[in-house]
Chain A
Amino acid sequence: MAEAQSTLEVSEPVDLDPIERRPDLIEGNPSFHDITEAVARPLEWKAPLGWYLFLAFSLSLLGLLGVSLAWLIWEGTGIWGNNVPVAWGWPIVNFVFWVGIGHAGTLISAVLFLFRQRWRTSINRTAEAMTLFAVACALIFPAIHTGRPWLDYWMFPVPNQMSLWPQFRSPLMWDIFAVNIYGTVSLIFWYLGLIPDLATMRDRSTTVLKQRIYGLFSLGWRGSHRQWLHYERAYLLLAGLATPLVLSVHSVVSFDFATSQLPGWHTTIFPPYFVAGAIFSGLAMVITLMVICRVVFKMEHIVNMLHFDRMAKLILATGTIVGYAYATEFFVAWYSGNIYEFFAFKNRALGPFAWAYWTMITCNVVIPQVFWFKKARRSIAVLFVVSIFVNIGMWFERFVIVVTSLHRDFMPSSWDYFTPTFWDIATFLGSFGLFFTLFTLFVRFVPMVAIAEVKGVLPQAHVHHHNPIVHGSQGGRGQ
């Protein structure tokens, strides 16, 4: 096995998959320099008018968030629809929605890295940025949900004059730690990957200010072999550390519900089911964003149909797992023989919120089935529409879980219908303002594609490139 001399004669052109003729990951056979130019362009050119318009739109939504939060702090949580029996309303729905969105970024950047999926290089930077912004949006809600954000430090184990200590037995506390760890590791991972590209931007700077700022953040990167060696090692280690976080964060989020004794919340499949749903929704958001960005910033050759095709397949796979979880939950609710459990599920499907339940089923289980067809996976219009539907469906999933289990609890005398208020809607839309503002700034000031990594998957990055009969080279092709 570990002989010095191989006695096997293997000489095959392995950089082309014999079945699929694995296509080039980057279209148009660009040179290294072409990649740098293409990615740096949005940062160096004058921003198009559309960018300013979208920034203005995002900022106005952000303003709506500011007003909503100011009014919340002034008036209190009574401005929301939360009330007994639905004491947990939109804030937690929005929190879970945003945390879930983030998961695709870590899946693409860390898990696909460990699985040697080289196509990830075109989209990982944007997906990770999306993760960070989604986590930022998510963290708004635990911070403000009591209406008393000045007491947020109670959530941290800070010694204080009242000798109060966080309630570590509460899954809501675990959430704080899980999401903060997730945000921190994601930020470090994202930033580490950025360093070589920031150095590129520094070296291309035309003004001293830009040079100083990019120079500061590129931490003295010179691109020496030694630096690359450290970089690659750190990247692998961080990928290894981030991978369990993909599972743990949304599992902990699911504990918020599943540790309770409430029918419809307490079920053991919640952790993996939430994780699959989170990745599902996050991939949809990546598609929504990339469909637009690649056109606006002329990167159709870098983020091409191959990438969408594979993300659509991942959506199909995770959507199927989510469908499996829905079915299992429903079956076991009946199988358990627990009348309250089964009532909760019948109530979801047939009760006053049936419209929300069937919206969820349609968006999450039915509509993504179009991705069985290659034509759909490679049609920008279909991708865009389906990704929006999945986003809607996954928001409704959390709404269904939170509201339908609460609005008809154990005491029929307190049953009630839940209606959101204007401020519920305004806060949610406002959180999109924060997300889009951060994202709009990101595409303008940070290279939105990992330049160094994309160069690594170009055919010419491999020394044996010109020799079709290669020994041991994986070539610069797909997978």
Chain B
Amino acid sequence: MEIQTPSLPSDRVALPNQGIWRRLPTLGMAIGVVGLLLTGLLGKGHPADALHSYLVAFLFFLSLGLGGLFFVVIQFLVRAGWSVTIRRLAEHVMATLPLFALLFIPIALGIHEIYHWTHADAVAHDPILQHKAPYLDAGLFHLRAIVYFVIWSAIGLYYWRTSRRQDEIGEASITRRLQNLSPLAIILYGLSQTLAAFDWLMSLDPHWFSTIFGVYFFAGSVVGILAVLILLALSLQRAGALHELVTWEHYHDLGKLLFGFTVFWAYIAFSQFMLIWYANIPEETEFFAARWNTGWKSTSIALALGHFVLPFFVLLLRDVKRQRLGLMVVSIWLLAMHYLDLYWLVMPNLHHDGPALALADVTSLIGVGGLFLAVLTRLMAKGALVPMKDPRLAESLLFENA
């Protein structure tokens, strides 16, 4: 069945010619390669330092891709109408996921520098690690990583391709197919994302464990993608694209979701912290002891205030969610906090005494970020920025917050 959708002016749905949007694919690639090379050089003497920095940057951008996957799939799962005009942006972010399979290679190669449980001599004297060996095994670790990337790339590329195909042929059946696949996609995503968080983050401290950890990583990544969607839409509109396609109504709803997931992140973080603090069992408290009884205390406080308290009060205001400056500042702020969150999860395993900012933190962020932006804008340059023939496009264009 072909569907009638409003025709959108082509200049509004294409990547803008002005600004740096068209140059980003090459520029980002160049910056990214330089950043990664510099990180590699910095890691020559101290591979562990550079690899930890790289892991943070890798997880930061990967979490945006995963957040994008969640955002897209959940829209199809609940048959959302309001979000159609911003969904494509999330689809592009999600379609960068295969890039991270490539970017995982340094971690796969440097596993010995990052993960203590790969040290055979350490395992030999540690009954707990021996017990975990059937799971924390280098071969299985790599195999699982391959499975995760296959799942994410398959879902990401399939949804991206199929949604874009609808732009051309306008079949409503495409929407129906993506809706029908969404429950399976979200279950696969939930399981793989949880185990990936266990593998890549929780096992940094192989003795520590927390059942909520997968949800914690999930909550942060959704905060990340919502901030990215707001920033992408705002900056594309500044360059002239998406004019009247993404309205203040959409921003308002994105802002509400950003508020909601900021609170959800705090709820999960608090649950994890409070229960471990209260029961006070040494095998669990070591995680927070490493982040409180050390120079990391101020970072921990900054995270609680910056990732929750401050944005909570700011995002509570209706006006902030409906104006450019407010949304921009709070989105950039929350993205920075999301980075800090991952930094706070990873780095205390390397620098036990307190944060030690390194050049590799910056170069790896630029490196991974450059490649991420290059691939993202290359994807965005192909075809429309809005699902032109989505059957619910009109609903989204006319959508108003009640």
A1–B233 Cα gap in the complex (Å)? 11
B211's partner among A7, A10, A251, A268 (CB-CB below 8 A) is A268
Q: Are B394 and A272 in contact (CB under 8 A)?
A: no
A14's partner among B3, B198, B395 (CB-CB below 8 A) is B395
Provide a sorted-by-A list of 6 A–B residue pairs whose CB atoms are within 8 angstroms: A10-B394, A19-B79, A259-B279, A261-B280, A268-B276, A337-B128
Is A258 interfacial (CB 8 A cutoff)? yes
Q: Are A268 and B214 in contact (CB under 8 A)?
A: no
A332 contacts which chain B residues (CB < 8 A)?
A: 209-211
A332–B248 Cα gap in the complex (Å)? 44
Q: Are A8 and B6 in contact (CB under 8 A)?
A: yes
Is A378 interfacial (CB 8 A cutoff)? no
Smallest CB separation, A410 vs chain B (Å)? 13
Q: Which of B212-249 contact A (CB under 8 A)?
A: 212-215, 237, 243-248
Is B300 interfacial (CB 8 A cutoff)? no
Q: Are B391 and A19 in contact (CB under 8 A)?
A: yes
A358–B5 Cα gap in the complex (Å)? 51
Q: Are B6 and A10 in contact (CB under 8 A)?
A: yes
Q: Are A7 and B244 in contact (CB under 8 A)?
A: yes
Known pairs A18-B172, A19-B179; A268 contacts B275 (CB<8 A): yes
Closest A residue, CB atoms, query B207: A337
A244–B259 Cα gap in the complex (Å)? 12
B237 contacts which chain A residues (CB < 8 A)?
A: 1
Is B313 interfacial (CB 8 A cutoff)? no
Q: Which of A1-43 contact B (CB under 8 A)?
A: 1-3, 6-12, 14, 17-20
Q: Which of B345-391 contact A (CB under 8 A)?
A: 391
Is A197 interfacial (CB 8 A cutoff)? no
Is B402 interfacial (CB 8 A cutoff)? yes
Is B397 interfacial (CB 8 A cutoff)? yes
Q: Are A10 and B397 in contact (CB under 8 A)?
A: yes
Is B102 interfacial (CB 8 A cutoff)? no
Known pairs A1-B247, A328-B194; A269 contacts B128 (CB<8 A): no
> Interface 1/0s, chain A 335-375, versus B by CB < 8 A?
11110000000000000000000000000000000001000
Smallest CB separation, B190 vs chain A (Å)? 6
Smallest CB separation, A3 vs chain B (Å)? 7
> Interface 1/0s, chain B 244-282, versus A by CB < 8 A?
111110000000000000010001100110111011110
Q: Are A270 and B281 in contact (CB under 8 A)?
A: no
**Beyond the given A8-B245, A12-B394, A270-B271, could you list 16 further A-B residue pairs with CB under 8 A, ordered by the A residue number?**
A9-B6, A11-B6, A12-B4, A12-B5, A18-B392, A20-B79, A244-B263, A258-B279, A259-B274, A261-B281, A268-B210, A268-B211, A332-B211, A337-B128, A337-B131, A337-B132
A39–B276 Cα gap in the complex (Å)? 50
Known pairs A10-B6, A19-B172; A335 contacts B395 (CB<8 A): no
Q: Are A335 and B398 in contact (CB under 8 A)?
A: no
- 6 closest residue pairs by CB, A with B: A12-B394, A18-B391, A269-B211, A268-B212, A337-B128, A271-B271
Smallest CB separation, A330 vs chain B (Å)? 10
Smallest CB separation, B363 vs chain A (Å)? 34
B191 contacts which chain A residues (CB < 8 A)?
A: 324
A261–B81 Cα gap in the complex (Å)? 46
A349–B118 Cα gap in the complex (Å)? 32
Q: Are B398 and A14 in contact (CB under 8 A)?
A: yes
Known pairs A8-B6, A335-B135, A472-B400; A266 contacts B212 (CB<8 A): no
A10–B398 Cα gap in the complex (Å)? 8
Q: Are B128 and A1 in contact (CB under 8 A)?
A: no
A272–B266 Cα gap in the complex (Å)? 12
A247's partner among B247, B267, B402 (CB-CB below 8 A) is B267
Scoring A269, A320, A329, A479 by chain B CB atoms within 10 A of each residue's CB, the highest score goes to: A269
Q: Are B268 and A272 in contact (CB under 8 A)?
A: yes
Closest B residue, CB atoms, query A333: B211
Is A267 interfacial (CB 8 A cutoff)? yes
Smallest CB separation, B286 vs chain A (Å)? 13
Is A204 interfacial (CB 8 A cutoff)? no
Q: Which of B1-34 contact A (CB under 8 A)?
A: 3-8
A247 contacts which chain B residues (CB < 8 A)?
A: 267
> Interface 1/0s, chain A 255-281, versus B by CB < 8 A?
100111100001111111000000000
Smallest CB separation, B73 vs chain A (Å)? 13
Scoring A8, A259, A320, A329 by chain B CB atoms within 10 A of each residue's CB, the highest score goes to: A8
Q: Are B400 and A268 in contact (CB under 8 A)?
A: no
| Interface magnitude class on chain B | 35 or more
Residues on A facing B (Cβ under 8 Å): 1-3, 6-12, 14, 17-20, 116, 244, 247, 251, 255, 258-261, 266-272, 320, 324-325, 328-329, 332, 335-338, 372, 471-474, 479
A270 contacts which chain B residues (CB < 8 A)?
A: 271, 275
Q: Are A19 and B397 in contact (CB under 8 A)?
A: no
A338–B207 Cα gap in the complex (Å)? 10
B127 contacts which chain A residues (CB < 8 A)?
A: 337
Q: Are B400 and A479 in contact (CB under 8 A)?
A: no
B7 contacts which chain A residues (CB < 8 A)?
A: 9
B109 contacts which chain A residues (CB < 8 A)?
A: none
Closest A residue, CB atoms, query B264: A247
Q: Are B187 and A320 in contact (CB under 8 A)?
A: yes
A247–B260 Cα gap in the complex (Å)? 12
B176 contacts which chain A residues (CB < 8 A)?
A: 19
A259 contacts which chain B residues (CB < 8 A)?
A: 274-275, 278-279
Q: Are A324 and B190 in contact (CB under 8 A)?
A: yes
B267 contacts which chain A residues (CB < 8 A)?
A: 247, 251, 271-272
A116–B249 Cα gap in the complex (Å)? 14
Is B283 interfacial (CB 8 A cutoff)? yes
Closest B residue, CB atoms, query A261: B279
Known pairs A18-B391, A19-B79, A472-B400; A269 contacts B244 (CB<8 A): no
Is B175 interfacial (CB 8 A cutoff)? yes
Known pairs A19-B176, A324-B190, A337-B132; A471 contacts B398 (CB<8 A): yes
Known pairs A328-B214, A337-B132; A260 contacts B279 (CB<8 A): yes
B275's partner among A3, A12, A258 (CB-CB below 8 A) is A258
A2–B397 Cα gap in the complex (Å)? 13
Closest A residue, CB atoms, query B179: A19
A8–B85 Cα gap in the complex (Å)? 14
B81 contacts which chain A residues (CB < 8 A)?
A: 17, 479
A2–B250 Cα gap in the complex (Å)? 12
